[in-house]
Every structure is written in structure tokens, then in C-alpha cells.
Amino acid sequence: MLVFPQLTTGAAALYPVTRQSVQRTVVNTLPDGSTVIYSDPDAAQTMWELQLKGLTAAEWESIEALFDAVAGQWQTFTLLDPVGNLFSNSELLSAGSWVNGALIALTTGIADPLGTTRATRVVNTGIAAEAVTQVMAIPGNYRYCLSTWAKTTGGSSVTLEASTTGASASGTFSLTANWQRISIPVELGVATTSVTFGTQLAAGATADLFGMQVEAQVAASDYKMTGEQGGVYANARFAADALTVRAQSGDVYDTAIRILAVN
């Protein structure tokens, strides 16, 4: 699995990071001089510029190895958006990207901690634990942070969990009637090609959830809402056929890298 490497600190990138969304509009000029204008969603791209200063030799070598493996711009790799939420459909837990327990009931339009009504009430109507999960095609040996806002009116608790073949991580939180943001660090340490993240409820439990988020870093940042495209870009490419690096010393390297992906 070719994935843009994570830094040894567990960070996805160093700041500043620039992310740009590029859209294309097609304009068709007719013989009478009128025009027809429409968007071209198949040409939409996301572009990142990473200013990576102070890399260790090992970090630079891992980037260089990926560049060689994909032959510059030629082949694709997976990029975990360093400023994004890896979940897709983060506020639509009924979407096809989510795998929910058979006895999980969802109610949308619940008041959320931001003063809107975008939270979801999750009820486990079964007699055993059930979960709301999402499987991602990402490496199991990277470090992540799983977080969500949660509350309950019935004294329930929830468990945040992440798992891959041969390893798992979890944390159980007692909820109150007030919103609280809960999170767990995830360090599975297994070189697999998929990880499952989610929230588990005990039998009969009820919880309001908002802002489900996974990030390729060790701690939670501000919540980012996602739609069908989450922060996992499986078709990313280097934007140039050459890398430029400046060696400050034998173990300090500076570089700037541009990456693009078709949405």
C-alpha cells in the first residue's frame, strides 16, 4: 500500500499547510452569441502544498522512497489529508459508507453543540452491544485520533473504538446531559491496509452524537464536516517530476511538496 508517509512525531505534516480546491466551469458559446454555462465536477481537484522544514533523514528518505516508487507524477498513492477529517459523510450516519449494527436506530435533526440541529440520536434497541462504524483503506501502523461530541439523557456510556487485523484500541466514556467532546489516541502498530473506527453502545443505550472525526495525528483538532469525499484520497499524485531538498545538516532537511488529487 503506497501512502504518503507520516512524520515520526505522529503528525501528518508540518505547518504551514495550504489546501486549495480547484473547480472547472465549461462555457459553450452558441452561434447566436448566447452562452451555456455548467460545472464540470469530473475535473474538480484538491491541491496541497506542504512546507516540510526540519525533517530528519529518515523522514526525508521515506518521502523520497515513495516518490521513486510512484515514478514522480506517473502513479497514484493514498494521501491522508493533513488538515481534514478522514471520515466520509461525518454527519450522515445512515449513509452507505457507515456500517451500523442491525438494531441501531438513528434519528437526525437533533440539537448539536454548535447551536444547529445536525446531531444524530443513536439508540441501541438490541440486547447486545451494537456500533456505528466506518472502514477505511488506510494503514494500520499510522497514528490516529478518533473523536466525537456526545451526550445522553439516560445515563448511558459510549465506547470509542478502532480495530484492524490483530490489534485494537478503545476507550469508554460516561456521558451526561451536557455535550462533551471525547477522544482516544489510536496506535495499532500493525502494517495492515484497512482500519475500522466507530462508536459502540451497550444494549439499550441512547446517545446523541455529533462531529465524528478521525485524523492522522495524535490529538484532536477542530471538527471538520465532510460529505461523500472524506479525508482519504486514494488517487493522489505528486504535482511535479522532481523533488527539491535542502540539507541543513546531516539530519535536518527542508523541502516543499505539492500534491494533487481528482475528487
Residue 120 sits in the same domain as residue 166: yes
C-alpha span between 194 and 142 (Å, rounded) = 11
For residue 56, give its domain range. Answer: 17-82+233-262
C-alpha span between 229 and 244 (Å, rounded) = 30
Residue 76 sits in the same domain as residue 162: no
Looking at the domain assignment, is residue 94 inside a domain?
no
Enclosing H/E stretch for 148: strand 143-151
Strands of 195-201's sheet in order across: 99-100, 130-136, 195-201, 157-164, 167-174
Looking at the domain assignment, is residue 89 inside a domain?
no
Looking at the domain assignment, is residue 123 inside a domain?
yes
Residue 208 sits in the same domain as residue 103: yes
C-alpha span between 100 and 94 (Å, rounded) = 8
Residue 131 sits in the same domain as residue 177: yes
Cell of 16: 504551514
Looking at the domain assignment, is residue 32 inside a domain?
yes
Rounded to a whole number of angstroms, the CA Rg of the chain reads 21
Task: Give yes or no for a contact between 4 and 10, defined as CB atoms under 8 angstroms apart.
Answer: no
Looking at the domain assignment, is residue 150 inside a domain?
yes
Nearest residue to 212 via CA among 148, 137, 257 = 148
User: What pLDDT score was predicted for residue 194?
Assistant: 98
Cell of 55: 525533517
Residue 247 sits in the same domain as residue 189: no
Mean per-residue pLDDT of the chain: 95
> Any idea what DSSP says for residue 3?
B
Cell of 127: 440486547
C-alpha span between 37 and 25 (Å, rounded) = 7
Residue 240 sits in the same domain as residue 214: no
In this predicted model, what pLDDT tens digit does every residue of 128-163 receive, in sequence order? 999 999 999 999 999 999 999 999 988 999 999 999
Looking at the domain assignment, is residue 179 inside a domain?
yes
Enclosing H/E stretch for 62: helix 57-69
> Any idea what DSSP says for residue 7?
P
Q: Longest C-alpha distance within the chain, in Å? A: 69
Enclosing H/E stretch for 64: helix 57-69
Enclosing H/E stretch for 186: strand 180-187
Residue 157 sits in the same domain as residue 222: yes
Whether omega for the bond prior to residue 16 falls within 30 degrees of 0, making it cis, is: yes
Looking at the domain assignment, is residue 182 inside a domain?
yes
Q: Is the pLDDT of residue 263 over 80?
A: no
Q: Return the bridge partners of 187, or none.
A: 143
pTM: 0.92
Residue 21 sits in the same domain as residue 58: yes
Residue 23 sits in the same domain as residue 49: yes
In this predicted model, what pLDDT tens digit does every residue of 65-124 receive, in sequence order? 999 999 999 999 999 999 999 999 999 999 999 999 999 999 999 999 999 999 999 999
Phi and psi, residue 164, nearest 5°: -145, 175
User: What pLDDT score was predicted for residue 249?
Assistant: 86
